[in-house]
Structure formats: C-alpha cells, structure tokens
Amino acid sequence: MNSGKKDKMEKVLLKNIDKPNSYNIETYMSSGGYKAIEKALKEYSPDQIIDIVKKSNLRGRGGAGFPTGVKWSFMPKKSDKPKYLICNADEGEPGTFKDRILLELDPHMLIEGMIISAFAIGARYSFIYIRGEFMLGGKRCETAIQEAKEKGFLGENILESGFNHEIYVHYGAGAYICGEETSLMNSLEGKRGYPRIRPPFPAAYGVFGNPTTVNNVETLANVPHIIEKGVDWYLSIGPEKNNGPKLLSVSGPVKKPGVYEVPMGIPLRKVIFDLCGGMLSGKILKAIIPGGSSTPMLTMDDLDVHMDFDSLAKAGSMLGSGGVIVIDDSFCIVRAVKILTDFYKHESCGQCTPCREGLGWLKRIMDRIENGEGREEDLDLLLDICKDIEGHTICPLADAAIPPIRSSIEKFRDEYLYHIREKECMI
Amino acid sequence: MEFEFSEKGKAEIERLIEIYPSKEAVIIPALHIGQNENGWVSNEVCMTISELLDIPAAKIEGVASFYTMFSRKPKGKYWLMVCKNISCSIMGSEHIINYLEQLLRIKVGETTKDQLFTLDVVECLGSCGTAPVMMINDKYYENLNEPKIEQIINELREKG
C-alpha cells in the first residue's frame, strides 16, 4: 500500500502552467526547458535513449499503457525511407481533457519531448495531429515550433549534432476514430479515417508507407524529464511497472473539477475527496468511470483502488486515459450508458459489420429501455450482442463501447429493471 | 455558386503541397480553408479543391462527408455546437440545449431566419472539467448557465 507521503510529489508536467505566458519559449527556458535536448543529443546515442526510456517503465498515456521504449524499439534501425514520429493530439475520449492543457499552456514541453523522441527513433519528420476543435492549442504549437526553430532546436544540424528534424501541425476535422493510430495515419494522408488492418504495423509501414511511431501528448511530455533527471528519479514515483506522474482529468459534480497531476498509484478516494474537494453540496457519489468513457464503472465500494494501470486492471477496470467521470445519485445510469452507446454508434466508421450493425442494435435497445419500452430479456440480449461484437473488428472502437454496458448491468441492474418494469426512471 | 480561394488561401494551399509527401494529404487542410472562406463545404468548394490538387471531386467529397466539422449545408454566421456527451449531460447540457432552442426560436439542426445562428449538438469537445460546454465557430464557451448564454447570444446579436 502507498503511504500518504507517496501520494504527494513536486509538479513535473504541470510545473509551468500557472506562470504568465507559460506557452512562450522564454518562460519554458527560464525553468530549465530545452536542457534535456542538449543532454540527449550530446551525451547519448539514440539506442541509449531508447534504453533509458525502457528502464523508466514509461507507459503510453493515451489509454493502452504500452511501454513506450519497447514501442520505439520496433522502429527499423536502417531504413531507405524517411521515418516519422506522430504526436497523437486527437484527444477525444469522453471525460478526457488533459492533453489540451499541455497543448495550450506548455507546448514547448511537448516539442522538446518530440525532438528527443524523434532523435531516439531516427525520425526525420514529425506531425502533431491535433483535433480540429483545439484551434488555440494548435496555434500555440505552431508558434512554439517557430520559436524553437529560431533557437536552433529544430531544423538542420540541431545543436551541431548532425540531427535534422522538422515538426508540422496537422488539424483533424471532428472524428473520434482518428485517435486510433492507424485511422489517424489514414486521416493524415487525406483519406477517410478508416483504421487499417495490422500487420503491417506502423513501425514497418506507417504514414505515407514509411516507418512510423505514434505517441500521445502526455507520453512525449514525460520524455525530457526522464532524460534530465534520470531513471532512478522516475522509478521513485509510483508503484513498480507503473511509474511516473499521471495527469487525471476529473469531471462531474465535484467541487473542483479539472486536470490534476498525481503520482501514479494515488487512491481514487483521495482524488475525489481530497484534490477535488469532494462532491458539490447535495450531491451523493454513485458511480465513477475511472479512465475515460470506455472503462468499466466503479462504485463507492471501489474508492480505495489505486490509480495506476495494474491496480485498476486488478479491480476490473482500466486506467485508460485517466479521465475520471464522477456520476452522482441524481443521474440515471441507464441514461449515462445510453449517452455513451449513442456516442460510440455515432463515431463508428462503418467498416466492420459487428461495429456498424452491432452498435446500432445496442443503441436501439438502450433507447427503448430509456423510453420505458424495454423488456427484461433485453439485459441478456445486450450482453449477448456485446459478446458477439468483442474482438471481431479491425480496431478497438466497438470493444470500447462494451465496458460501460457490461459493468453497469452488473453493478446497477436495479436501475435497468426499474426502467423496464415501471416504464420510467428511478430518479 | 462559384467558389474561388482568396489569394492568401491559394498561397497557403501551395505552401502545403510543398510540405506533404502527397497532394492527397492537402485535402483536409484545404477543406478547412475552403469552409472558412465559404462558410460551408459546398460542391463548388470540393470542385475547386479538386482542380487545385488534381484529385477527382468525388474523392474530395468522400473525405469531406466523413468528418463532422465539415458542414455540407449552409450555416448561420455563428455555428453553435453544444456538447451532449456524458460529463456535459451530468452537468446539465440538456437544459442548456432546451434553453438555446427557446432563446433562438429554432430546433437543434436548424438556422435562424436572419442566418445568424445555427444550433447543433456534438460529441465530446474535450472540455469536461468546465461542463457544460459549447463551441461557437472556433471558440470554446465553458461553465455555461442561463445568464451566461443570454449574454453570449445578446453580444453576438449586437455584433451581427
């Protein structure tokens, strides 16, 4: 178990955001920014950086939690084609708004992380694929790239290391599916955002047919700190194999919703009742979706769970993107799940039959239960359809629609039954 | 109605053609520019992009129709997009949508007669900590409530 002391830490990723003009290069450099790039390019070889990141146990912050250093090592060492790094800034998982903070308030931390990561995998070009709605974040990144170029951190022969690199900002246009990395690459190529069948994997055949690595904004923002302060420092934060700081986005009827930087492994109770100041007056906590809309719901009984990849998996849920959605007892669970099912149905790209048709079917059943026209056998039917969808599609979008349905039927069956029997909401 | 890019728009598209390894990759940036200049993605916008990039118009249309930010219908000067996803719903977005319908005297999906406002509901805007949230054109409006909405609408009406 974590001691109280381990739940506190000095800010790492959010250390600059409260400063005036936090997005300017001067602000970033005055707090030690762009020192890590110097260390990385002058003291280490690309392989050494990959090794450092592997040893740090940095795991992808986009949702899957895959070890970043391992992902990088899939990139071919020698390639006739230019290699690409893509920063996935298509933040769209309902309940998640942490990357937006970094993009708008500390774009240089991301850019420094991208340059070091690109050096490690030998990428000649990078793209920041940002969701089209994040216009402010996109513009801040464009300005930051220009500033970094003027200081010689981007362009030809960076810091006389012989390494050349350019970063471009590319705006999406409103499609949740483009947060999935192969869909993102198709979108970047100017196509409809259809996910691709793997293999070939992006490291072999990625964007424009070139070797590509896709990393999340928060993941990349961790990299300069690992290089600067070292592996031992990073391993001192969080439980084993779940190291480092984590940004949690907390939404719903709590006193202080927002983005919080915590050490991995902090208890959920502490997040809601300490950091966020507890529930708004008159609101009683009923359910928590701990890691973005696609993660299984938790209840009051789960408040002592630790917020890290492995602890949440053990508790039957997921850390996902760290989007903590708090639901109070005045909000109907059936309605919550109906909203999420509508969302996944709407965002299905339509390529795979189990997703296109299956999610439509789930939606129609959820609609009729919500409207008081449900039947008791609908609950088993929902679960049956989930089983038939799961694992039968190209990408994980359809799989992501399932956990809210399954976990809510398991934990809040009474609310479904009340809707079906009484033809109205319990609340 | 004919559509031509402005000189600035055309120059930007030409700059992008130099950056990307394929002309196809310029389709989405060009659609953004086209929508900004024309107000919506009309068939003529697709045709003009098709000529500039030398890519069949059907392909441009196919891309445009996939992405929700590209409007294939004319919009009011101010396009209101209210989030209806989970965090916003918990914090009362349904009420916000009803209030806007009442205030603008239109239903979701419609445009006011004076062509000033279009009201739409959208999926998560990534601003859940300041729910309920809406976007008007490319700007976020957060922590919405009735007085705040009234003020925003009045200001936009005055601006015209």
Per cent of chain A over pLDDT 90 is 97
Contact status of A142 with chain B (Cβ, < 8 Å): no
SS3 label, residue B156? helix
Q: Do B91 and A253 touch (CB under 8 A)?
A: yes
- d(CA B158, nearest CA chain A) in Å: 25
pLDDT for position A7:
72
- d(CA B139, nearest CA chain A) in Å: 8
pLDDT for position A427:
83
User: A426 falls in which pLDDT band (50, 70, 90)?
Assistant: confident
Is residue A210 predicted with pLDDT exceeding 60? yes
pLDDT for position A2:
44
User: Could you report the per-residue pLDDT of A300-340, keeping only the tens digit for each?
Assistant: 999 999 999 999 999 999 999 999 999 999 999 999 999 99
Which residues share a beta bridge with A171?
Answer: A130
pLDDT for position B1:
72
- d(CA B112, nearest CA chain A) in Å: 23
Please give the CATH topology (third level) of the domain spanning B7-64: Arc Repressor Mutant, subunit A (1.10.10)
Question: What mean pLDDT do residues A49-72 have?
Answer: 97
Is residue A365 predicted with pLDDT exceeding 50? yes
Q: ipTM score here?
A: 0.96
Please name the member of B25, B126, B135 whose beta carbon is closest to the beta carbon of A100. Answer: B126
pLDDT for position A5:
53
Residue of B nearest to A208 (CA): B21
Sort out which chain B residues have CB atoms less than 8 A from A192's CB and list them. 62-63, 66
- Best residue in A330, A339, A370, A408 to probe B by mutation, most B CBs within 10 Å? A339
CATH number of A333-422: 1.20.1440.230
CB within 8 Å of B72: residues ≥ 6 apart: B40, B41, B42, B64, B65
Best CATH choice for the domain B78-159 from the list 3.40.30.10, 3.40.50.850, 1.10.150.120, 3.40.50.620: 3.40.30.10
Question: What mean pLDDT do residues B145-150 have?
Answer: 97
Q: How far is CA B104 from CA B100, B101, B118, B124, B143, in A?
A: 6, 5, 9, 23, 20
Is A357 buried (19+), middle (13-18) or exposed (0-12) by CB count in 10 A?
Answer: middle
pTM confidence score: 0.96
pLDDT for position A405:
98
B window 56-115, beta carbon within 8 A of A? 62-63, 66-70, 84-87, 89-91
Contact status of A173 with chain B (Cβ, < 8 Å): yes
- Average pLDDT along chain B: 96
- Average pLDDT along chain A: 96
Please give the CATH topology (third level) of the domain spanning A4-235: Rossmann fold (3.40.50)
Q: Report how far residue B82's alpha carbon sits from residue B84's, in angstroms, rounded to the nearest whole number.
A: 6
Mean pLDDT is lowest, of A253-257, A422-426, B111-115, for A422-426
Question: What mean pLDDT do residues A283-287 have?
Answer: 97
CATH class of A245-328: alpha beta
Q: Do B28 and A176 touch (CB under 8 A)?
A: no
Per cent of chain A over pLDDT 70 is 99
Contact status of A253 with chain B (Cβ, < 8 Å): yes
Instruction: For chain A, give every domain's residue range.
Output: 4-235, 245-328, 333-422
pLDDT for position A229:
97
SS3 label, residue A163? coil
Is residue A65 predicted with pLDDT exceeding 60? yes
User: Could you report the per-residue pLDDT of A214-241, keeping only the tens digit for each?
Assistant: 999 999 999 999 999 999 999 999 999 9
- d(CA B157, nearest CA chain A) in Å: 23
Residue of B nearest to A210 (CA): B21
Contact status of B17 with chain A (Cβ, < 8 Å): no
SS3 label, residue A102? helix
Is residue A6 predicted with pLDDT exceeding 70? no
Extract the tokens encoding A118. 């690109």
Question: What mean pLDDT do residues A81-98 have?
Answer: 97
CB within 8 Å of A103: residues ≥ 6 apart: A89, A110, A130, A134, A137, A138, A140, A141, A217
User: Could you report the per-residue pLDDT of A246-272, keeping only the tens digit for each?
Assistant: 999 999 999 999 999 999 999 999 999
Is residue A56 predicted with pLDDT exceeding 80? yes
Instruction: For chain B, give every domain's residue range.
Output: 7-64, 78-159
Phi, psi of A170 (to 5 degrees): -125, 125
- d(CA B107, nearest CA chain A) in Å: 20
pLDDT for position A3:
45
Which residue, among A355, A380, A351, has the nearest Cα to A365 in the 3D structure?
A380
Is residue A1 predicted with pLDDT exceeding 70? no
Which residue, among A387, A79, A51, A366, has the nearest Cα to A227 in the 3D structure?
A51
Residue of B nearest to A127 (CA): B20
User: Could you report the per-residue pLDDT of A377-398, keeping only the tens digit for each?
Assistant: 999 999 999 999 999 999 999 9
Please name the member of B66, B131, B135 whose beta carbon is closest to the beta carbon of A175. Answer: B66
